Chains A and B, each alone.
Chain A
Amino acid sequence: MSIRFSGTLKRSAGVASAIAKQTRLLNLKPVKNIVVKFDPFNKNVKETREFLFSLTGSKVLTTNISCKIKTNILCDRSQPSITFTLSNNEVIVFKSANLTNLELLQLYNKHITPLASTEEPETIVPQTKSEKKARKKR
């Protein structure tokens, strides 16, 4: 008698590919304003900076050209944070002192990226040849 299969069929390809996968899923459409605050002399700032780097990639920026990304450099050794102001005026704050780049991306894709899919785009139905001919005849 065999037990049910448990475990993975594929092995994980590492942190870098996980980050790449999350970055591909990123969609800035629901966000109208991003403010990243960090103090460069704070110890916990590496992952925030990496996240800022992921957010400002050219492919990610093209998902929403009107989204403004601003960086505030703090000088008071306070903890880093990322504030997203959505287009429906909701404000979401990520306190990124103890989060890694991958976790930040996963959180974003869990909470904010699904909001982009709720806005369904108008699908253009391509016209068939007979339809075009009928239009021309008119």
Chain B
Amino acid sequence: MSVLNPTVCLQWRWQTSLQFVRFRKRINIQRPAAPHYEKAKVLKVCKPYYLNPREGMSLADLCEKPIEVQPRNEDVENPYERILAREVLNWFNHSRLVAFFHSNPISAEDRFRTNIMLKKQNMYLKQYGKKVMRMALEDTKYEPVLTLFVSRNFMVFSPELQVGKLLKLNRRIPQLILMAAIVDDRFMSVNELVKYSNMPDLKTAQAGLVAVLNAAAVQLTQNLTHHQQTLLGHLQKHIELQQKMSNEEEA
């Protein structure tokens, strides 16, 4: 009755038959039985073979580190790095002053305080890695800057030209050491920056230039009119003395 019941019929499944092979204690691996000739033929045909990558190499080449062990350069481009590189180039193109600092160990708190100090002067503190900088500045006019990017670096960007303030800040922040700067598209070392900050403003410099240009003509007129000027001077003094004497007489 149960056999004819459809629910019981559905429960019939193929049962895998289990036949235990390992009934002895140890399995035999080291002395396997020789296979049958036909089986041996199939095994021989299906055996995998690998080509020797070092075939045909000279002894000199073989003495070098094997190719399989050498690390492959994974040159997978990271889109975030590309974005950062674009940002860096943008900063370079839109700031009149770009300062490069060597960085000693600086705590996050000190870095934050430095950031605030700089922001108050309209200067912006940035730090990027060598890879991003190379990506940004290679094949541009800013390529020489890459020689500075060895060890740890910080950069300060400013849309205004404030070299004096930059030098003052360099003294106030002990962990950052100024190495060089780009001032109005001119790459300057520290000496040149100091000279630049000590220079007078443009109008004074122009006045000085005008004076230098006129110096020869001025000297010439002085030489020509020297005797006349001295005579004039003596005469004036004579008049003054006479006036004094007449005043004294009246008194």
- A contact set with B: CB distance below 8 Å: 40-41, 45-46, 49-50, 52-53, 56-58, 71, 73, 75
Contact = CB atoms under 8 A, between A and B. Distances in A.
A58 B147 contact: no
Interface of B: 100, 102-105, 107, 147-148, 150-152, 175, 177-180, 189-192
A73 B167 CA distance: 13
A40 B107 contact: no
B189 A71 contact: no
Contacts of A71: 102, 177
Contacts of A56: 104-105, 175
A53 B105 contact: yes
A53 B150 contact: no
B107 A58 contact: yes
B189 A75 contact: yes
B191 A75 contact: yes
A111 B102 CA distance: 27
B148 A41 contact: yes
Contacts, number: 42
B189 A52 contact: no
Contacts of A49: 102, 150-152
B104 A40 contact: no
Contacts of B148: 40-41
B152 A53 contact: yes
Contact of A73 (B105, B107, B178): B178
Nearest to B106: A56
30 contacts: A40-B148, A40-B179, A40-B180, A40-B189, A41-B147, A41-B148, A41-B180, A41-B189, A45-B150, A46-B150, A49-B102, A49-B150, A49-B152, A52-B104, A53-B103, A53-B104, A53-B105, A53-B151, A56-B104, A56-B105, A57-B105, A58-B105, A58-B107, A71-B102, A73-B177, A73-B178, A73-B179, A73-B189, A75-B189, A75-B190
Contacts of B151: 46, 49-50, 53
Interface centre among B102, B103, B175, B190 (most CB of A within 10 A): B102
A73 B152 CA distance: 15
Q: Which 4 pairs from chain A and chain B are nearest by CB?
A: A49-B151, A40-B179, A56-B104, A46-B150
Nearest to B104: A56
A41 B189 CA distance: 9
A85 B189 CA distance: 28
Contacts of B107: 58
Contacts of B100: 40
Given A56-B104, A57-B105, A58-B105, A73 B190 contact: yes
A12 B192 CA distance: 46
